[in-house]
Chains A and B, each alone.
Chain A
Amino acid sequence: MKDFSRTKTIFSLIGIFIYKGSGYTNQTMKKIYLLFKPHLLVLLCCLGLNSCWKLRGHYGGPKSFEPVERLVRPTDVALPTGYKIEAIAQGLTYPTALTFDDNGDIYVTEAGYSYGEVWTQPRLLRLETGGKTTIVATGEENGPWSGLTFFRDAFYVSEGGTKQSGRILKITRDGEVTPLVQNLPSSGDHFTTGPVISPDGYLYFGQGTATNSGVVGPDNYQFGWLKRNPDFHDIPCQDITLTGQNFESDNPLTPDTKDKTVTGPFSKFGTPATAGQVIKGQLPCSGAIMRLPVAGGNLELVAWGFRNPFGMAFGPGNTLFVTDNGYDTRGSRPIYGSGDYLWAIKPGTWYGWPDYSDGNPLNTSDYETGKQDPKFILAKHPNKPPKPAATLGVHSSANGLDFSTNTSFGHVGEAFIAEFGDQAPNVGRIYGPVGYKVVRVNPTNGVIQDFAVNKGRVNGPASMQKHGGLERPIAVQFDPNGEALYVVDFGIMPITEEGESPRKGTGVVWKITREVNR
């Protein structure tokens, strides 16, 4: 189901211009039209065949979670000269993260939940030689388990909390699961993420926002959680004052399809806000990086004003870097053209959500949509948001990251980032698939280079290319020596007209090594 509305609009406007601008009579215009009619058809045909100029729509097909056969063929992945890639595990269901224990053994989390509203059992698996797996621990139906790290003989897992609430779990080698942090506001669009542990023994984790841009709306009903949890909304980390802007939308919680409701920012669905209204800050909160001693202790706020701070790693100078998924063009307050970001974290800083993107205010024409121009919803901003270390593709879903530290692999000091890939058209229209690859980023100048991409005339997931390359990279992790980069590939997840269709048993773990010195 391709969308050619833009193409039609272009031709209509070109026609109108020729007609209006020429000053010809109707009779003359008719002659011109007949003269150029064949050319217009040729042009339309070219546009129809040309992927560069058409807006990409749904993949098509019914929504299904059933496993499909996934072709895995490393030669379909292009890498810089001197590097090679191999698949070391296949058949995983929604894998999300990878870590190593102090013996160098490899462990992987399976999420237990995916967009599309499908729950399976979250699992911590040890990868054995030959691609087999051994179950270390299992979780409750409260996924997704979105992140994993190992520290001093224990695993630490971020649990998304779709059914209850977000948690950070400590898991022993024999599979005993103990919550380290509970009741995180993780029942919305975005989940509890991370964790990563600093050299001084603090566990840092992220908490994504409930909504796209601060307002609960029908898009959250489509996600599924508004129906399950109609009182849920975003929580600020510090006291905020609202401008009083409200948003009218359909009310999917009532059977009347014509029913409308009005919702304010940081409020539950159907609850309007007032100008000057103060929303009290809390901890834990939405869109934040928080930390606590890994041995246990009080929760602390590190930084806030993020949207979906998914991946995190300590980079050069022991600076914490975080990937952040930018706004979508959806919901009651859609935002156009917001990239994904790599942030260098300065403690105590507000990074701009829900009124800034890329350090720029949203109340400009750059971010406007046909539906509603974004205006500030906060009357005062805690600080001027900083600029990101790098700006990645709009809707690329920049997720897991890690830094190269070994000259034998190369690109020391650069961040390697897994781009999960777009969820268009549900997040906004695009001209071509975005993401579905691994990029490397120089955090000092923001230059982004492709590192592992699928071969083909255009970018896109392997299932679209009909070959055996990358599908949806979600995490990257260097081994303890920094000599190999492991890529966790979530698996096949097309966007159908009924929503996300994540296929079980299609996850893969890839390993990239450098064969020769350049």
Chain B
Amino acid sequence: MKNTYSLTGFSLFFGVAVILLAAGCGSARRSEPLRGPLTLNEQLQRGQIVFMNNCHKCHPGGEAGVGPSINNVPLTKGILKFRVRSKAFLLGLGRMPSFKKHEISRQELNDLVRYIKVLKKHKEDLPTATL
């Protein structure tokens, strides 16, 4: 049991460390005036609306606000989904509320995560709908 706990603890520790280090690497700004228009297919348009209804107020355009920036943090789809669904992130740290299925459905969550990933990769003049 000790080894299991220690492995979990250290894995988490280094996971956090990698995320925090990577978070310092680049700007979170992705908006049209700075990066050009973001081309969105139908799924991404749905994801954008889910983002606007639930995420934008704390992470405006994915940048820092009352919550931290998310555009420059290397989070996988799985972690993003877990973060949206679970209030307990980093062992309960963090102020972000959880969003249950009646608030963001499974389909909406898929659309949202896809949109966040595409927004994160958005570079000027790069058609993104096919990413």
Q: Which residues of A contact B (CB under 8 A)?
A: 9-10, 13-14, 17-18, 21-24, 36, 39, 43, 46-47, 49-53, 78-81, 336-337, 339-340, 358, 365-366, 390-396, 428-432, 434, 445-453, 455, 457-459
Q: Are B29 and A459 in contact (CB under 8 A)?
A: yes
Q: Mark B1-34, 1 if CB is under 8 A from A, else 0.
A: 1100110111011001100110110011101111
Interface status of B80 (Cβ within 8 A of chain A): no
Q: Which residues of B contact A (CB under 8 A)?
A: 1-2, 5-6, 8-10, 12-13, 16-17, 20-21, 23-24, 27-29, 31-34, 36-37, 48-49, 52-53, 56-58, 60-61, 63-69, 72-73, 87, 90-91, 93, 95, 97
Which of B21, B49, B69, B91 interacts with A445 by CB under 8 Å? Answer: B49
Q: Are A337 and B95 in contact (CB under 8 A)?
A: yes
Q: Are B66 and A395 in contact (CB under 8 A)?
A: yes
User: How many angstroms between the C-alpha atoms of A80 and B31 in the bound complex?
Assistant: 9
A453-B34, A455-B34 given; A431·B5 CB < 8 A:
no
User: How many angstroms between the C-alpha atoms of A336 and B8 in the bound complex?
Assistant: 33
| A353 smallest CB distance to B (angstroms) | 17
- Which 7 interchain pairs have the tightest Cβ spacing? A432-B64, A339-B57, A450-B31, A50-B24, A78-B33, A431-B64, A393-B60
Q: Are A23 and B2 in contact (CB under 8 A)?
A: yes
Closest A residue to B28 by beta carbon equals A52
Q: Are B68 and A448 in contact (CB under 8 A)?
A: no
A53-B20, A393-B60 given; A365·B90 CB < 8 A:
no
Question: Which chain B residues lie closer than 8 Å to A393 at the CB level?
Answer: 56-58, 60, 65-66
Which of A21, A394, A395, A447 interacts with B52 by CB under 8 Å? Answer: A447
Question: Which chain A residues lie closer than 8 Å to B33 at the CB level?
Answer: 78-80, 450-453
Q: Would you give 13 A-B contacts (Cβ < 8 Å), ordered by A? A: A18-B10, A50-B24, A51-B64, A52-B23, A80-B37, A393-B66, A394-B57, A429-B66, A446-B53, A447-B48, A448-B61, A450-B33, A459-B60
Which of A13, A51, A337, A453 interacts with B58 by CB under 8 Å? Answer: A337
Q: Are B49 and A457 in contact (CB under 8 A)?
A: no
Q: Are A18 and B60 in contact (CB under 8 A)?
A: no
User: How many angstroms between the C-alpha atoms of A39 and B21 in the bound complex?
Assistant: 11
Q: For the complex, would chain A's binding face be called helix, strand, loop or mixed by DSSP majority? A: mixed
Which of B48, B57, B90 interacts with A391 by CB under 8 Å? Answer: B57
Question: Which chain A residues lie closer than 8 Å to B13 at the CB level?
Answer: 14, 18, 36
User: How many angstroms between the C-alpha atoms of A396 and B64 in the bound complex?
Assistant: 12
Closest B residue to A81 by beta carbon equals B36
Closest A residue to B27 by beta carbon equals A457
| A271 smallest CB distance to B (angstroms) | 32
Q: Are A80 and B66 in contact (CB under 8 A)?
A: no
User: How many angstroms between the C-alpha atoms of A210 and B25 in the bound complex?
Assistant: 43
Q: Are A434 and B32 in contact (CB under 8 A)?
A: no
Q: Are A46 and B21 in contact (CB under 8 A)?
A: yes
Q: Are B32 and A80 in contact (CB under 8 A)?
A: yes
Q: Are A394 and B66 in contact (CB under 8 A)?
A: yes
Q: Are A46 and B68 in contact (CB under 8 A)?
A: no
Q: Are B65 and A434 in contact (CB under 8 A)?
A: yes
Question: Which chain A residues lie closer than 8 Å to B91 at the CB level?
Answer: 13, 17
Question: Which chain B residues lie closer than 8 Å to A43 at the CB level?
Answer: 17, 20-21
Question: Which chain A residues lie closer than 8 Å to B6 at the CB level?
Answer: 21-24
User: How many angstroms between the C-alpha atoms of A13 and B92 in the bound complex?
Assistant: 10
Question: Which chain B residues lie closer than 8 Å to A445 at the CB level?
Answer: 49, 52
A39-B17, A80-B37, A447-B49 given; A428·B28 CB < 8 A:
no
Q: Are B57 and A431 in contact (CB under 8 A)?
A: no
Question: Which chain B residues lie closer than 8 Å to A390 at the CB level?
Answer: 52
User: How many angstroms between the C-alpha atoms of A248 and B91 in the bound complex?
Assistant: 33
User: How many angstroms between the C-alpha atoms of A51 and B87 in the bound complex?
Assistant: 24
A21-B5, A390-B52, A450-B61 given; A336·B95 CB < 8 A:
yes
Which of B52, B61, B72 interacts with A446 by CB under 8 Å? Answer: B52
Q: Are A431 and B69 in contact (CB under 8 A)?
A: yes
User: How many angstroms between the C-alpha atoms of A358 and B57 in the bound complex?
Assistant: 11
Q: Are B32 and A394 in contact (CB under 8 A)?
A: no
Closest A residue to B32 by beta carbon equals A80
Which of A21, A336, A396, A452 interacts with B60 by CB under 8 Å? Answer: A396
A428-B66, A434-B66, A445-B49 given; A337·B23 CB < 8 A:
no
Question: Which chain B residues lie closer than 8 Å to A339 at the CB level?
Answer: 56-57
Question: Which chain B residues lie closer than 8 Å to A452 at the CB level?
Answer: 33
Which of B27, B48, B68, B72: most chain A CB closer than 10 A?
Answer: B68
Question: Which chain B residues lie closer than 8 Å to A47 at the CB level?
Answer: 20
Question: Which chain B residues lie closer than 8 Å to A449 at the CB level?
Answer: 31-32
Question: Which chain A residues lie closer than 8 Å to B49 at the CB level?
Answer: 445-447
Q: Are A366 and B97 in contact (CB under 8 A)?
A: yes
| A196 smallest CB distance to B (angstroms) | 25
Q: Are B63 and A432 in contact (CB under 8 A)?
A: yes
User: How many angstroms between the C-alpha atoms of A457 and B61 in the bound complex?
Assistant: 14
Q: Are A453 and B31 in contact (CB under 8 A)?
A: yes
User: How many angstroms between the C-alpha atoms of A365 and B88 in the bound complex?
Assistant: 13
Which of A51, A78, A431 interacts with B65 by CB under 8 Å? Answer: A431
Closest B residue to A56 by beta carbon equals B64
Which of B20, B60, B63, B66: most chain A CB closer than 10 A?
Answer: B66
User: How many angstroms between the C-alpha atoms of A14 and B24 in the bound complex?
Assistant: 19
- Contacts A21-B9, A431-B68 known; list 4 others, CB within 8 Å: A17-B91, A21-B8, A39-B17, A451-B33
A47-B20, A79-B33, A450-B31 given; A458·B63 CB < 8 A:
yes
Q: Are A431 and B66 in contact (CB under 8 A)?
A: yes
Q: Are B48 and A337 in contact (CB under 8 A)?
A: no
Which of B52, B68, B97 interacts with A52 by CB under 8 Å? Answer: B68
